[in-house]
Structure 1
Amino acid sequence: MAGTRFPLEVQPRIPPALSRLADVANDLVYSWDRSLRALYVRLDRELWAECGHNPKLFLRRLPQQRLDEAASDPSYLEDYRKVMAAYDAYREHRGNPDMTRIFNPDKDLIAYFCLEFGLHESFPIYSGGLGILAGDHCKAASDLGLPFVAVGLLYQAGYFTQIIDGQGHQQVANTPSHPHDLPVVPTLTETGHQLTLDIEFPGRTLKVAVWTARAGHIDLYLLDTNLPGNSEADRRITHQLYGGDREMRLQQELVLGIGGVRALREMGLRPTVWHINEGHAAFQLLERCAYRMKEGLDFASAMELVAAGTVFTTHTPVPAGHDIFDRHLVERYLMPTAHALGLDFEQLYALGLNSGDGFNMTSLALRCTRFHNGVSRIHGNVASQMEQRLWPQVPAEENPIGHVTNGVHLQTFLARDWISLFDLRLDDWRNELLNEDYWERLEDVPDYHYWSIHKALKAELLEHVADSVKRQQRRNGTSDAVIRHMTRYLEDSDADILVMGFARRFATYKRAGMLFADPQRLARLLGDPQRPAVVIFAGKAHPNDQPGQALIKQIHDFSMQPQFIGRIILLEGYDLALARQLVAGVDVWLNTPEYPQEASGTSGQKAGLNGAVNLSVLDGWWAEGYDGSNGWGITPRGEQFDEHQRFHEEARDLMDILEHQVIPTYYDRDGGGYAPDWVALSKASMKSTIPRFNAQRMVRDYVHQYYAPARSQRLRLEADGAALARELAAWKQRVREAWPGVSMQLTVQPPAVIYTDAKLMLRVRAQLQGLDPGDVRLECLLGRQDTSGGFSVEQAVQLIPLGEEEGWQLFGLDADPQLAGLQYYQLRMYPFNPALSHPFEVGAMIWV
């Protein structure tokens, strides 16, 4: 039949008794409150799945009859009232007193900028770990009651929906959504119209609309260029996350950085702390400087003030994760910004220079902020090494990059069955998330009860995986006989089979193919009829990442080999919904990154808090989380091995651990039908992960280590008409001009041997090139030398000025050495000013 198909959506009228279902559909609390989501699921489970777990869309398509039935169902109404009462209690809660004492909701505001936010699968404005981390950060900020807003972009097509065809090729599908389908509302001005902004682009003015997404106690402001006044090309700037070419990426980052600052100003919001999550939003720094200059500051003073109140988090050591733009592109788009800042283009371009060509957004963010961190201890060290050119004379281990190890939002990823257990057996557990001793109470849960919960969650996962495999394979034309063979272990309800999971972005450094380094051995281990095992893979590769897509095809090809059919499962369409099921249902979580490129690896944390046992390379968070009793660690090989050797040595470790530890421990059952040693591992995993790697701990660390110091520093520099910011900028300029000619010499050196009752006496003369003695600090570092020749500092003593002699400034030290035996000392000098945020932020240092 030919003809045009016209859409017609018949919407129900929500009964007054259930009216609040519509209100909650616009509050992303539903993304972490399972009881709220359950109210929708109970109405129509199949429709809920068809609508992508989107309550707003679900309510528009639900039959009127079903709503009317629920409105007259006493059982449903009772649950509805209980859930809404709990929701109201959450909304009325004024926050954690420890946090609100530090950040006063009436005076303070933290503004958090990120290019993606992963709060829920129904709100597809995320691609992977960065976005989900940002979403968890927002959720924890809401739980803690921090004065907090977030700023991002509203993508009409999100990232992409993944399809894997019958040959194992990743296919990209996009399903554009309209804002009226999403949990957003227009951000209104005082006149009742939607807030719009103007951003100057080459040859035109770009219009940007602002939308608000509510997530508990916080608001997420999202910018949208899909407006009738823009050209078709400009309307597509916010069409897709990480879509388009380099110019579109630059346009997206200008909209986020510049538009985000302007949006907050238009709403009358004046953040006291700004947090840039990855370099994508770094243009906000230049925009904020321009505003400060309108208040009468010169650029250098404005930059000191802006930088002092800003935290920057870098998320990856992988080069592809750091945006670099060509000079001509930056010049086209940023010339107006340069003029507004009183800079010529060369001066502005220099703010983003690092090694190589191009304008590096990470370098811009690091130069123009004063508080910087990586996302695990190892990653903080790696980032310090990577970025040491910005502080060229400072040892990498002492430069201003620190770390806050990532955490995950417990209520989002902890399975419903575990929450029910905690509610039953652990009183007030939600207020004990940081108390490691408290979680020892898990030992009071009988092993059989604990294991029964895990088995139920695994059964749910396997049922879901089986359904997904059938849909995927039938679409690809696979025969029913092969499908039955693929799902035989998934549908055997009597078999308690070992299930391992590997799910994450398919990038080459994550080495998803390591498990197949020895296919014959793997086939033997998985195919043992007495101790069978299944490995479930899931994940997306960027549409332009051909090596990543090749990994997907490699796994697909293995999964279709006779010895692996049904034992290796490759799922398509990895998203937050699938992630929640996987981390809750698997027995073992696998992770095999190339050290030290796994910045954090939060999927392992999500699995661990559900009692899954991690088997991972000791990189990222697992290097901190592994304690010998809660999982297994693969020790990364050192630099003496080349990449090929490292891969195969670590792959052998992986197989050895599987064969000799994982599989035997899992199948060493007692009369109760479970393995006591495995339950002990699982409990240890949960006990060690929950209090140390949850998002509330992470956000608290940011508050204490970064947000509070950044606010204090900004207030210092801002006082008295930004007098200290002006002084600091002028001082830095004076230091930079003088430093190339600064030198020092050791004039009095102690003998190589002194006795305990003798003084360590040092005399140094310095040529300061017009700087004052108070502009520098001389230090004597005392410590030990390790077996590899490294120097471990155990004491730092400051030399004091002794006056001037023949144009040289004299410094001296008379100290009692606190170490005994053989030791070493070093002498260094660096610029110092008490107004600095970090003693080495200037990046200048000389040594004798």
Structure 2
Amino acid sequence: MAGQSNILDKLKELARNLWWCWQSNVIDLFRELDPALWREVDHNPVEFLQRIPADQLERRSAEMALDSRIDFAFRRLSEYLKGTDSWGAVHASILRARPVAYFSAEFGLHESLPIYSGGLGVLAGDHLKSASDLGIPLIGVGLLYNQGYFRQSLDANGWQQESYLDTDVSLLPIEPALGPDGSPLKVSVETTNGTLHARVWRVEVGRTTLLLLDANVPENNESDRTLTARLYGGDGRTRIRQELLLGVGGVRAIKALGIQPSVLHLNEGHSAFAVLEKIRELMEETGLPYGEVHRDVAQMTVFTTHTPVAAGHDRFPAELVEEHLGRVREAIGLSYEDFMGLGRVYTHDANELFCMTVLALKLSRHANGVSALHGVVSRRMWHPLYPNLPEEQVPIGHITNGVHVKTWVAPQMAMLFHRHLGPDWSARQRHPETWGAIEEVDDAELWETHQILKARLITFVRSRLVAQARKRGESDSSAARFANVLDPNALTIGFARRFATYKRAGLALKDIDRMVDIINDAKRPIQFVFAGKAHPEDRYGKELIQYIVKIAWDDRFRNNIVFVEDYDMNVARHLVQGVDVWLNNPRRPQEASGTSGEKAVLNGTLNFSILDGWWAEAYDGRNGFAIGAGTNHASIQVQDERDHASLIDVLTHQVVPTYYDQDEAGLPRKWVARQKDAFRTLAWKFNADRMVMDYVRRSYAPAAGGVTCQ
């Protein structure tokens, strides 16, 4: 039993560091102990180990000879944590003593830690993972949402329903952050009408640490105890109090832990209050005036803006700002008018709301968008802040987003890379020459690997649809029909993202009568898999979901258009790994980046996208398909009509013919050639390792007082 206890202890250690979630071999260990329970707990190893009976753990370990594999995984984690031979050890040594503090309102690390809603959070999670792999000294700062983002279901009318479940903290991979005296750390933030309190948790993400602030503590009143219950829930008052905790509370938590960051990285404007608190802190420590400290803190601040959509930038009325930041304002010695001016484009316009993005831009000296086109759009959008500069000289650059490869590549595809690109391919992923070897992969092997992933996706979707139907109260016979939807041999198109109106989820289905003939073509059928959530207050987004769902339930489309409920990282993983085509058709130029398409690339899925965000700088005519010519029209209606026409034209004259042009062996040689082109031209560039290295070279090192690295 002592040996078994040792094995359990090692599994618990593995479960407590999210390094496991990008190690397919470790995931397999948990799954093989009890596949059904692993699915039941939503792939949460902490809950899994609490629920698996000890005798079953012992029996399965013996039957599957898992002991040595568990030992090996444990050693790998230990070696990884102790490793000093990393890119960061050489190129980011300036950050070793004083790391980067990376603030974000959400972090998407894994579905078992539900503190994210979409792309912004997943990007933040991928940033932490790559910082860990590269050995970049970095501390994440966020909020612990006790109910997370909502769980989505559809009623009998196809209308989105939201439910919120309280999370049992004991089932999460988190531990209390301990202060210098060894007691659980708590921080407080004073406002003009009371004090907010929060406890601090820590999550280990490989070699990086994520700090999460939690307002559910006895010191708060009942209203404030629910402050961090839900992500993006509540009104403006709730939002500003959350952002006060994130920014001001986050800086205080870091200081209380004895961490002295040399860089503050604001991932979106939600955390911009952090800069004000850092100014206050340094004024108190140094005795220097606001002007001098402001200059120094702005130099150490990096700000990443993520959206060109006006509604995506938080704005608050002046009285709400004064209520919550009045104490900070007084401490840094600014008048009411000067302080409010920090959040306004037109400083003295008392009617202008206080904007968090404006505050972040005014208090940082290193600002960037998240793609080349988004950089252009951001400079145009915020040009009024810099009236004395030409638009092209507005100090907002760009660092194009990337995705964490080992999180998003399917194990089957990773094995193919291992065989043909070399066992160390993932360590060399950012080098173009690494991917050149993909040309030598046999077409049949690549196609077979893709078909395996597609079959896995269809099995997953069928299972989810049957469960959805039963949950809606449909009869067993009615639910059973979903067990046969989707054809493994048909061209399969995936569309999954937040159902914001500008993303135009229904664009492909705008002309239903025409789509009937295209979708149900006897020789060249196509099928769609949709997923995504609308914000609870976004009625238009909900109507769009209902529109698509009702089409999916139409007898003409019942087998080839489906909507998968409750989109999360697990659903996303299956979709980007298994569909043939990843469709993205936002209204240009409102898609800042679009990282889901980058995840698709890693799995041999071809992008079919508007030339917006990352695709505007990625598409070369052979590595996927483009909708439109990269132009905009003054009329939204005209632009939508033109883009719809282009989508249908490219679909019917390029995508479908290329996919179904198969030789006698059933291989679509021209399609596979495009897959290889996509791997070769895109995988090395649009990954998070390259992204984080760009941040180190262009932003972190200069912000920390160093010179730009090469």
SS for the counterpart of 1:175 is coil
Matching of residues 666-685 of structure 1 within 5 Å:
666-685=659-678
Among 335, 349, 354, the alignment partner of 1:344 is 335
**Could you give the per-residue CA deviations for residues 306-363 of structure 1, whole angstroms, max 9, x where no partner exists?**
0001100000011121000011111211111111011121111110012662110000
Who is 2:19 aligned against? Answer: 29
* Sequence identity percentage: 43
Who is 2:470 aligned against? Answer: 474
Q: Is the 8 A contact 1:609 1:687 kept in 2?
A: no
Q: Which runs of 5+ in 1 are unaligned?
A: 1-11, 717-848
SS for the counterpart of 2:253 is helix
C-alpha distance in 2 between matches for 1:607 and 1:657: 19
Matching of residues 254-653 of structure 1 within 5 Å:
254-294=244-284, 295-354=286-345, 357-427=352-422, 428-479=424-475, 482-483=478-479, 485-490=481-486, 495-635=488-628, 638-653=631-646
Q: Is the 8 A contact 1:17 1:71 kept in 2?
A: no
Q: Is the 8 A contact 1:539 1:572 kept in 2?
A: yes
Give the aligned CA root-mean-square deviation in angstroms.
1.8
Deviation (angstroms), 1:434: 1.3
**Could you give the per-residue CA deviations for residues 279-328 of structure 1, whole angstroms, max 9, x where no partner exists?**
00000111111112111111111100100011000000111210000111
**Could you give the per-residue CA deviations for residues 158-207 of structure 1, whole angstroms, max 9, x where no partner exists?**
11111112211110011111321111100112322101112112332222
SS for the counterpart of 2:704 is helix
Equivalent position amino acid for 2:609 in 1? S
**Could you give the per-residue CA deviations for residues 94-144 of structure 1, whole angstroms, max 9, x where no partner exists?**
252465333346423111000100000000000100000000000000000
Q: Confirm or deny that 1:240 pairs with 2:230.
A: yes
Deviation (angstroms), 1:568: 0.9
Q: Is the 8 A contact 1:499 1:536 kept in 2?
A: yes
Q: Is the 8 A contact 1:95 1:143 kept in 2?
A: no
Q: Which has the higher contact order (CA 8 A, sep 6+)?
A: 2
SS for the counterpart of 1:19 is helix
Deviation (angstroms), 1:637: 6.4
C-alpha distance in 2 between matches for 1:197 and 1:528: 62
**Could you give the per-residue CA deviations for residues 824-847 of structure 1, whole angstroms, max 9, x where no partner exists?**
xxxxxxxxxxxxxxxxxxxxxxxx
Compared CA separation, residues 187 and 13, structure 1 to 2 (3 A): farther
Compared CA separation, residues 456 and 126, structure 1 to 2 (3 A): same
C-alpha distance in 2 between matches for 1:103 and 1:511: 45
**Could you give the per-residue CA deviations for residues 15-71 of structure 1, whole angstroms, max 9, x where no partner exists?**
223321111111011221121121111111111111111111111111122112134
SS for the counterpart of 2:182 is coil
Equivalent position amino acid for 2:552 in 1? S
Among 176, 186, 191, the alignment partner of 2:166 is 176
Q: Confirm or deny that 1:250 pairs with 2:243.
A: no
Structure number with greater Rg is 1
Who is 1:107 aligned against? Answer: 97
C-alpha distance in 2 between matches for 1:544 and 1:69: 50
C-alpha distance in 1 between matches for 2:66 and 2:676: 35
Q: Is the 8 A contact 1:500 1:533 kept in 2?
A: yes
C-alpha distance in 2 between matches for 1:239 and 1:560: 35
Who is 2:686 aligned against? Answer: 693
Q: Is the 8 A contact 2:247 2:271 kept in 1?
A: yes
Deviation (angstroms), 1:489: 4.1
**Could you give the per-residue CA deviations for residues 252-303 of structure 1, whole angstroms, max 9, x where no partner exists?**
0000111111111111111111101100000011111111211111111110
Among 191, 202, 212, the alignment partner of 1:212 is 202
Q: Is the 8 A contact 1:636 1:646 kept in 2?
A: no
Q: Is the 8 A contact 2:88 2:135 kept in 1?
A: no
Deviation (angstroms), 1:79: 2.1
C-alpha distance in 2 between matches for 1:30 and 1:406: 23
Q: Is the 8 A contact 1:115 1:281 kept in 2?
A: yes
| Greater mean alpha carbon deviation, residues 467-476 or residues 304-313 | 467-476
Who is 1:825 aligned against? Answer: none
Equivalent position amino acid for 1:328 in 2? E
Among 112, 123, 136, the alignment partner of 2:113 is 123
Deviation (angstroms), 1:631: 0.7
Equivalent position amino acid for 2:415 in 1? S
| Greater mean alpha carbon deviation, residues 175-184 or residues 699-708 | 175-184
Q: Confirm or deny that 1:19 pairs with 2:14.
A: no
Q: Which runs of 5+ in 2 are unaligned?
A: none
SS for the counterpart of 1:142 is helix
Deviation (angstroms), 1:416: 0.6
C-alpha distance in 2 between matches for 1:639 and 1:181: 49
Q: Is the 8 A contact 1:166 1:473 kept in 2?
A: no
C-alpha distance in 1 between matches for 2:91 and 2:403: 24
| Greater mean alpha carbon deviation, residues 157-166 or residues 617-626 | 157-166
Who is 1:789 aligned against? Answer: none
Equivalent position amino acid for 2:416 in 1? L
Who is 2:31 aligned against? Answer: 41
Q: Is the 8 A contact 1:637 1:646 kept in 2?
A: no
**Could you give the per-residue CA deviations for residues 640-677 of structure 1, whole angstroms, max 9, x where no partner exists?**
55111110111011011111111111111111112111
When the two structures are superposed, what TM-score results if normalisation uses the length of structure 2? 0.96
Equivalent position amino acid for 1:455 in 2? Q
SS for the counterpart of 1:650 is helix
**Could you give the per-residue CA deviations for residues 571-593 of structure 1, whole angstroms, max 9, x where no partner exists?**
10100011011000000000000
C-alpha distance in 2 between matches for 1:189 and 1:33: 31
Compared CA separation, residues 320 and 425, structure 1 to 2 (3 A): same
| Greater mean alpha carbon deviation, residues 134-143 or residues 393-402 | 393-402
C-alpha distance in 2 between matches for 1:660 and 1:417: 31
When the two structures are superposed, what TM-score results if normalisation uses the length of structure 1? 0.81
SS for the counterpart of 2:166 is coil
Equivalent position amino acid for 1:500 in 2? I
SS for the counterpart of 1:520 is helix
C-alpha distance in 2 between matches for 1:517 and 1:456: 32
Deviation (angstroms), 1:562: 1.9
Deviation (angstroms), 1:87: 2.4
Greater strand share, structure number: 1
Deviation (angstroms), 1:438: 2.1
Q: Is the 8 A contact 1:485 1:565 kept in 2?
A: no
Equivalent position amino acid for 2:25 in 1? S
SS for the counterpart of 1:72 is helix
Who is 1:198 aligned against? Answer: 188
Equivalent position amino acid for 1:443 in 2? E
Equivalent position amino acid for 1:702 in 2? Y
